[in-house]
Structure 1
Amino acid sequence: MTSVSTSGQFQRIQANNLALQERMAQLRDQVATQKKANDFGGLGSGARVSISLRGEMKELESYTRNIDVARLRLTTQVEAMERIGALAKELNGELIKLQSDPHGDASVVNRIAENGYREIVSLLNAKVNDRYVFAGGDASTAPLPQAGADALFAQIDADLNGPIANAATSLTTTRTTVASRGWFAASIDPDTSVPPVPTVPPVTVRADRSLDLEYGVLATNGTFSDNVVPANDLPYFREVLHAFATAAHIDQPTTPAELTEFRTYLGSTQQALSRATGELDREVGGLGSVGERLDGIAKAHKDLTVHLQRGVSDVEDVDMADAITRLQLVQSQLEASYRVTTTLNRVSLSDFL
């Protein structure tokens, strides 16, 4: 006996068609986006893994940005210090020639030294993203304000005051002036504490979890307990400023006695400048080592990020070949179901009489 299809059977077929349509739409989205779902909710048990991996990647991205900023500041410092070193070596050569040439023209060295002094002041006030790189934690304040640099330059002129009559006295006077505090920003060169301690915090970079690296140098690169010439040489930046400021104002000797003192003064200044240049070069090397360490950490972050990205891909990305195969299968099932539905719609009571 043949039975007539019931309403319940037809509704089940329709429900199956709707489910197949929904599944096909989902598979089409997966093929189009190459993702298993459009949100974490569609990942099921993999959602927690994906969120965790993405959190780690975000943290590494933050550390990498910190390192990029630090490397830029370090690079700016190194380039400025290398330029200062080059200027110092050039002046050193001029001082040696002037010292050995009885007919040398001091005015030529004066002009070279004054131009070099102005450039060095500008280099010590170098900025990255409007932040002074030689100012330590007080990056919004110029480490060597123009007013302080000009005042120091003028004071050296007043200290020398004509041809050198006594090299030892002149050296003591000018070196005491440069050693004095007040030329640089107070935050990195305070004039009240004994011994003076910069009030700015050191510059650090959070390069990794629980890893803060200190880097960079201050424009003062050293201070003194009182305004007298220290037992040792001036810190290298001050020594360079001393050499350029004095060379810019040293006068041509007019007598044999003045020539002797002139040469003695030049010789002492030239030797001190050579030592300062050597210290500056060593400091540049130290900054380079910090930069290399930061580069190594950044590379480790990059490698780990690649590994984490693979993990995220395993959880979130769809297997395209499998998704396309399943899409074609569902499409075939839906087409077959549509044909059955069409056939049922054509059945009438007369077909069973």
Structure 2
Amino acid sequence: MNRVSTFGNYQSALLDLMTAQTRAQDAQERVSTQKVATDLSGFGRSSETLTALKSSQSRIQGFIDTGETVASRLETQALALNRIADGVSGAREAIAAALASGRTDGLMLELQGHYQITQDGLNSRHQNRYLFAGSQSATPPVTAMTMADLADLPAASDAFANDSLKQVSRLDEGTLMETGFLANEVGHEGFDIFRDIQLFHEATPLNGGLDDATRDFLTAQLTRLDQARETVTNFGARNGSLQNRVDSILTAQTTQKVSLDEMLSKKTDADLAQALTDLELSQVAIQASAQVINQLRQVSLLNFLS
């Protein structure tokens, strides 16, 4: 004969209620987090696979962040190189106009403006760091503020304060890319010309009409300025090539990350429809268990003994 006790009935009903509450909590977590579990222990045997996937995901995201920073720097560098080229081209146009008119009135003032444009380009900054300063990116790479300052130096090369260490970036596991240029590499030809013109002006003021010596000197500077512009343009082309390569690497890494995200999603994302169904069923079970407990209060054996 099986014995029926009030304590046993209460204990069975309470266990059913606790089980239903646990199921409800689990379903509620899946609905709110949209994940199968909130820690690795909840994924069981697949936890090692998930750890490896997350590690790969974090590593690729790190490379993507680095690549985006490099791409932004190269974009700023392209603008700076264009500005340097504009300064050199502007100087050539000013001299060509003076030769065409046969007068040099205001020529030095124009050239000083174009020198300033060139210097500003070489002293360009990205994220408050000088682009063309090498490793000494907190110090302006060009120190001569005017053409007169440049002429006071023993040589044009003395106007550059950058060192010889170029910016190098790691874009993925096996790709180290040299993405930086140096001010003295980009601007030395143009600065040589600006300095020579300033020294000529100090010896023979460029103001007024043109004599044969001045005309020959200025004509020679046109060819030199063409070469200086070509040098800057070549650096711009190299910068564009670097931009294309960085963009290609970023595209491949983004595609790889999307693939990893999908793999992780399949393993970690909860089935929301199933989670909502489980939540509703568990709530029904909680209500049923609560009603059973309430009814047990009315069927106590003590009521029959009384």
Residue 208 of structure 1: aligned partner: 172
Q: How far apart are residue 148 of structure 1 and its match?
A: 9.5
* 3-state secondary structure, aligned to 2:183: coil
Residue 265 of structure 2: aligned partner: 313
Q: Which residue of 165, 170, 177 maps to 2:155?
A: 177
Task: Read off the aligned partner of 1:206 and give its amino acid letter.
Answer: R
Distance 1:330 1:351 in 2: 34
* 3-state secondary structure, aligned to 2:92: helix
Residue 243 of structure 1: aligned partner: 193
Question: What is the CA deviation profile of residues 128-159 of structure 1, one whole-angstrom value per residue up to 9, with x for unaligned ones?
Answer: 1221110122322321124797632335xxxx
Paired residues in the alignment total 301
Distance 2:245 2:176 in 1: 12
- Structure 2: any 5+ residue segments left out of the alignment? none
Residue 227 of structure 1: aligned partner: none
Q: How far apart are residue 344 of structure 1 and its match?
A: 2.9
Distance 1:95 1:348 in 2: 112
Distance 2:50 2:298 in 1: 50
| Matched-pair identity in % | 24
Q: How far apart are residue 254 of structure 1 and its match?
A: 8.2
Q: Which residue of 88, 113, 116 maps to 2:114?
A: 116
Q: How far apart are residue 328 of structure 1 and its match?
A: 1.5
8 Å contact from structure 2 (residues 95, 107) kept in 1 = yes
Q: How far apart are residue 252 of structure 1 and its match?
A: 3.5
Residue 93 of structure 1: aligned partner: 93
TM-score where L is the length of structure 2 = 0.87
TM-score where L is the length of structure 1 = 0.76
Q: Which residue of 208, 218, 222 maps to 2:182?
A: 218
Residue 151 of structure 1: aligned partner: 149
Residue 35 of structure 2: aligned partner: 35
Task: Read off the aligned partner of 2:238 and give its amino acid letter.
Answer: G
Task: Read off the aligned partner of 1:209 and give its amino acid letter.
Answer: E
Distance 1:47 1:110 in 2: 73
Alignment of 1:326-341 (within 5 A): 326-341=278-293
- Structure 1: any 5+ residue segments left out of the alignment? 156-175, 189-197, 222-235
Distance 1:99 1:325, change over 3 A: same
8 Å contact from structure 1 (residues 81, 280) kept in 2 = yes
8 Å contact from structure 1 (residues 253, 262) kept in 2 = no
Distance 1:337 1:252, change over 3 A: closer
